[in-house]
Chains A and B, each alone.
Chain A
């Protein structure tokens, strides 16, 4: 009795933890192995002591394993993976039991059938996860709670209807329950999938709308530049006439002054603006283009010079575009706000593509670095985890969800500098290991 029990518990151990480690891409180390072993041993002992109420050991097993694997991986999805593994292993066990009772198979075939079926299911599950990129999904806390609740209720119902009846000896009822539940489960999953799909579609329509708006803004700013150019051309004739006046009067000093003040300045401004838009042209992300051109116009109205540098074509950045436009909006708004009161303001913005990362730099001149740095830091720290002010809190919130992004902020020689370094997604996988 005890040996079969130990064997069974070992079997269970390899099924559950093996699948978990496989699905979550975890490395097996001796420390992890021993810890999992300990949890498993505790669960088995509990199951041995309380054979009547198996729910105790199941509950303990789920909580401890979730906690342990969460410690290893720091991923919230552990719980769902674990429950999926539990439910599928129950399904597999029953399916195999059904086959065994029909064909009167031996214990070895029984065991290997279980392993085979489970392996197939796990392979499929992992493929499903990587296909839909589940590990990159950042769910809101509320939806996480809902998912958590659904998963818990499912496991309780499964336990109640299948385990309990099976233990009472009603294998027949238990199997009927299992079939009904499984079909119910599959239908629910399909329906949820459809629901999620429509929700995602709605979201993408919303995103399209925003994109459209930003694109319109970009078009408007281009038109503005065009108008400026036309004005410049229109002024051209007048400028030439004035020059002629100075030359005819041999007024070299006046000519010099006029040239410096009227021509050089105006021309520089127009050319500069043109150059800005030619730089922006290389940033092929329409939402960001729209956002930046709107901010450029805003800064232009406040006569704050902004320079934009995009030395190489950028087609895509490994960050959600709406997230990117939100944080850029915060940074640019801050920079413009801080520049408004300066005598010689300057804002520089650059999108630099390196071999496998993109660096976004935003910097603005500061008047008094001492005050600002204190402000920045007290605001950042005021209450940990809940940074107020400057909108930097929302930047922090957004960026902390991305393992492939780092953010530096500092004050250097009267410049307030933000650097956002976005690694390409492919390299991120390697970092997890």
Chain B
């Protein structure tokens, strides 16, 4: 993983530089610090020729481009890059960073000890994300965009999909919550062999079926949700479930 630092305060820059070098030499030698600079120009000219994976950017740069704008430039070139902002307390804008710039993390300029832990944690998270990109087979995920933020949902965590009264609006229920988005149930039927369309408006994950109610023709999922089964699908559902 290639890392770039852009911070115009000399003390801060050297501090972060030192922390990252410490971390890489002790924990992850495969992390490489490729550029440590005080101006966005150098970052941009570097990006013209090379690539990097992780950026530590100061928000308040004394330059015509501030950290936010630099981040937007970087995003244009590399939508997958990990961006970590360095900022003072007063103008922390966590949600703006995450949703508008898909920043992974931000480091608040605090006492040196706290900065050190924050840098370490951010670097760790960035590295995990970097590794994940290489490992995860894309078909095992469903991606949902929320602004610039990309939310990966693992197929095995999905309980079921449900249609709504509004055409093309679907709700996905998973381990940690629910998501609404535009699409058709049909497009997800083939995504995973354990998905089963048990009703016109339900696509359930057979892995998460808790019990079947024959009388009411409903299925209870492991999170307690109840889905309706259509008359035609009931028998097939039973046989598919017994195969599990």
Contact = CB atoms under 8 A, between A and B. Distances in A.
Interface of A: 74, 268, 271-272, 275, 307, 309, 311, 348-350, 352, 354, 357, 359, 361, 363, 373, 376-378, 380-381, 384, 400, 402-403, 406-412, 417, 419, 421, 431-432
B238 to A, nearest CB: 22
Contact of A419 (B146, B166, B226): B146
A419 B166 CA distance: 19
Interface in B175-216: 176-182
A287 to B, nearest CB: 21
A411 B157 CA distance: 13
B95 interface: yes
Contacts of B147: 352, 354, 357, 359, 421
Contacts of A402: 166
A54 B180 CA distance: 47
Nearest to B100: A352
Contacts of B182: 406, 431
Nearest to A311: B96
A377 B96 contact: no
A6 B100 CA distance: 61
A411 B177 contact: yes
A363 B167 CA distance: 29
Contacts of B177: 373, 376, 408-412, 417
A428 to B, nearest CB: 10
A427 to B, nearest CB: 11
Contacts of B226: 381, 384
B122 to A, nearest CB: 14
A352 B178 contact: no
Contacts of A352: 95-96, 99-100, 147
B167 A361 contact: no
A309 B166 CA distance: 31
| Across the A-B interface, the 9 shortest Cβ-Cβ residue pairs | A410-B177, A350-B95, A406-B180, A408-B179, A403-B166, A410-B176, A311-B96, A381-B225, A309-B93
Nearest to A361: B95
A350 B96 contact: yes
Contacts of A311: 93, 96, 100
B167 A74 contact: yes
Contacts of B9: none
7 contacts: A361-B95, A363-B95, A373-B177, A377-B223, A406-B169, A408-B178, A408-B179
B90 A400 contact: no
B168 interface: yes
A275 B89 CA distance: 11
A409 B169 contact: no
B128 interface: no
- Interface residues on chain B, size class: 20 to 34
B109 interface: no
Given A352-B100, A361-B95, 13 more contacts: A275-B90, A309-B93, A348-B94, A352-B99, A359-B99, A377-B225, A381-B223, A384-B226, A406-B169, A406-B182, A408-B180, A410-B176, A431-B168
B176 A354 contact: no
A402 B164 CA distance: 11
Contacts of B148: 354
A126 B225 CA distance: 42
B174 to A, nearest CB: 8
Interface string B224-239: 1110000000000000
Interface string B86-112: 000111111110011000000000000
Contacts of A271: 90
Contact of B176 (A275, A363, A412, A432): A412
Contacts of A384: 226
B165 interface: yes
B230 to A, nearest CB: 16
A410 B179 contact: yes
B227 to A, nearest CB: 9
A363 B96 CA distance: 13
A410 B91 CA distance: 26
Contact of B178 (A354, A403, A410, A412): A410
B237 to A, nearest CB: 19
A378 B225 CA distance: 8
A348 B90 CA distance: 14
B221 to A, nearest CB: 9
Given A378-B224, A403-B166, A268 B146 contact: no
A196 to B, nearest CB: 25
B114 to A, nearest CB: 14
Most chain B beta-carbon neighbours within 10 Å: one of A271, A380, A406, A421 = A406
A213 to B, nearest CB: 28
Contacts of A407: 180
Contacts of B167: 74, 403, 432
B225 A275 contact: no
Contacts of A74: 165-167
Interface string B139-180: 000001011100000000000000011111100001011111
A178 B148 CA distance: 61
Contact of B181 (A361, A406, A409): A406
Contacts of B168: 431
A313 B40 CA distance: 26
Given A272-B90, A408-B178, A410-B177, A400 B99 contact: no
Contacts of B178: 380, 408-410
A354 B96 CA distance: 11
Most buried by A among B100, B166, B223, B226: B166
A418 B58 CA distance: 28
B94 A421 contact: no
B166 A400 contact: yes
B128 to A, nearest CB: 13
A307 B95 CA distance: 10
Contacts of B144: 408
Contacts of A349: 95
A309 B92 CA distance: 9
A350 B99 contact: yes
Contact of A348 (B95, B146, B165, B166): B95
Contacts of B146: 359, 408, 419, 421
